[in-house]
A = this chain, B = another copy of it.
């Protein structure tokens, strides 16, 4: 019987995973290179070491019953060390797929799903050729280690090829064509070892400065599209024999849904589930990872989640009608997510 869950990464997602595990009576151990991680305040134990520290990684792995993670950019070498000691969920296959934008797009295409036009970019010449094919505007992204708009350059004229390529400092990249979409939605889906799948209702996302600002549920899309989103997410999870929660970001286009990207973890656009569902995405993830049945993810209320960026928190604390979730981060930095709020209203159709 599982008593202790190991979590790689001690940020806010690790913190909320840790609290979900605690609700189920479990202890958590956090592995995090940075000192005083937000998750540490609600965990039984914290291991502070770089991902290159074999000894501490091994000690961490031996101290828990199962391992999961809050972010997808875990070095492969660290995984090599821990996965021979304890099971890691979601598995290697899902991680490898989502860690590389090209591998991810090829995988999605291989199971018949639509993605934006893209080209692999390893040189300035590649980029010039790709711009000729894909056209502008387009976005040049590093293949690996990007998040919240980092490692991305928007290209609006073919003449910007040299400077855009230089900006990524030689990292392997992908050029993505702009998608003409009406809305951005995301779907948070869970799958357990028995192959059961449970999806939360799709949310509609609004970004500011490349960072998620708001998720509203239900998304203002047709029931047919909602069903499409659920089926498509389920197809991805099945194809990867996935265990855990995944966030799937989608564009709503005139020809249907197109996948922006997938994240093999709990997702910022799923935070609304904390206050609008009986079982939230964090608990659903923990349930999958520890081999429990998935819980009831039906929403009981409509919801709107807004991220708290920077220092607008004091004012929000005065609002009675929202649930406030703060991450306990001591230092406020520009663009840093400090928390989020969830507002709910009676469930619509």
- B346 pairs with A300, CB closer than 8 A: yes
- B23 pairs with A344, CB closer than 8 A: no
In the bound complex, residues from chain B placing their C-beta under 8 Å from that of A18 are 42
For A11-25 the 0/1 string (1 means CB < 8 A from B) is: 000010011001111
- A326 pairs with B24, CB closer than 8 A: yes
- A324 pairs with B24, CB closer than 8 A: yes
In the bound complex, residues from chain B placing their C-beta under 8 Å from that of A278 are 275, 321-323, 342, 344
In the bound complex, residues from chain B placing their C-beta under 8 Å from that of A323 are 23, 278-279, 283, 295
- State the main secondary structure of chain A at its contact with B: mixed
- B24 pairs with A42, CB closer than 8 A: no
Q: Which residues of A289-315 have CB atoms within 8 Å of chain B's CB atoms?
A: 292-296, 300-301, 313
In the bound complex, residues from chain B placing their C-beta under 8 Å from that of A40 are 44
Most buried by B among A18, A42, A317: A42
CB distance from A80 to the nearest CB of B (A): 30
A270 CA / B212 CA spacing, docked (Å): 35
User: Is A178's beta carbon under 8 Å from chain B?
Assistant: no
In the bound complex, residues from chain B placing their C-beta under 8 Å from that of A321 are 278, 296
- B27 pairs with A328, CB closer than 8 A: yes
Q: Which chain B residue lies CB-closest to A342?
A: B278
A170 CA / B28 CA spacing, docked (Å): 46
- B346 pairs with A317, CB closer than 8 A: no
CB distance from A343 to the nearest CB of B (A): 8
Interface of A with B (CB < 8 Å)?
15, 18-19, 22-28, 40-44, 275, 278-279, 283, 292-296, 300-301, 313, 317-318, 320-329, 338-339, 342, 344, 346
